[in-house]
Chains A and B, each alone.
Chain A
Amino acid sequence: MSITQILFWFLSVVALFSALMVITNKNPVYSVLWLIATFFAISGHYILLNAQFLAIVNIIVYAGAIMVLFLFVIMLMNLNKETEPQKNRWLKMAGAVAGGCLLLVLVAALKDTDIKQQQALVNEGGIGLIKSLGKELFTTYVVPFEISSILFLSAMVGAVVIGKKE
């Protein structure tokens, strides 16, 4: 077993375990912290796939900005274990069974696909580096890139309009 495989399994176990902790934890603050752990594990997977730009962006945008926003909102509302709304047990069980069925169906449908023999290139290949991505982003995808700045502007205006007291 090479070091790459060991890292792959380790990161997968960390990602799945922290994702499970996100949905089982009663306290929303702990859920946010476990979700940050999940994002770090996924960033580790990106580094393993040599998609270094996305790994850094994932840490900066998701673990840095978005989760801090979540944490601020949770602390603003003063949510904790006592105020956590609970579904009744049967609804929870039905939800878990439905999700498990979806996983079962998707795995059964995708386990014998044609691309089964193909490999994802790990540890090498330069397409995930800033140089090649930046070249593509500012030539072929320059229009979507500019449109996304307008999207951000409208999201900012929308958040301020919705969030302000009337």
Chain B
Amino acid sequence: MPINYYIFLSLALFSIGIVGVLTRRNAIIIFMCIELMLNAVNLMLVAFSKMHYKAAVMAGDATTTAGTDGQLFVFFIMVVAAAEVSVGLAIIVMMYRNIHSVDVNFLNRLKH
């Protein structure tokens, strides 16, 4: 597949995530849109990793491991995202317990 298609698909997914963050006020939906953006970036990294692998194979190196780093990077992004979600959802639960709402507009002064 041409790398262009993957770039545009990832950009579209990323922009949908941005629009979600800008237009919604529910903290959980905003958090989900951040996950969507992370996934768009992951898709782009995997596509680029396969692109570099193909370039290395075309250059004559049949047993190359070019592009492995990109996929491991995606793995570490997933690891960090899992840790981030657990802490972020704990913060949202605490916020709901204090102000009985998940509306981000009530949190704009970082105190209640």
Contact = CB atoms under 8 A, between A and B. Distances in A.
Contacts of A84: 26
A51 B49 CA distance: 10
Contact of B53 (A76, A77, A121, A133): A121
A51 to B, nearest CB: 5
Size band of the interface chain B makes with A = 35 or more
Nearest to B17: A19
A70 B26 CA distance: 13
B13 A15 contact: yes
Contacts of A83: 101
A-B pairs, 6 with minimum CB distance: A95-B22, A99-B19, A155-B83, A23-B20, A103-B15, A85-B103
A23 B29 contact: yes
Nearest to A87: B25
A91 B53 CA distance: 44
B29 A45 contact: no
B38 to A, nearest CB: 9
Contacts of A117: 2
Contacts of A22: 16, 20, 29, 32-33, 36
Given A85-B25, A92-B23, A122 B1 contact: yes
Contacts, number: 241
25 contacts: A4-B1, A16-B13, A19-B36, A35-B32, A35-B35, A42-B39, A51-B71, A62-B39, A65-B82, A70-B31, A74-B28, A100-B19, A116-B3, A116-B4, A117-B2, A118-B2, A120-B6, A127-B53, A127-B68, A136-B72, A151-B79, A155-B86, A156-B86, A158-B90, A162-B87
Contacts of B11: 103, 106-107, 110
Interface in B60-75: 65-69, 71-72, 74-75
B48 to A, nearest CB: 8
Contacts of A156: 86
A87 B24 contact: yes
Given A49-B46, A119-B1, A66 B81 contact: yes
Nearest to B78: A61
Contacts of A1: none
Interface in A116-140: 116-122, 125, 127-128, 132-133, 136-137
Interface string A92-107: 1011101110110011
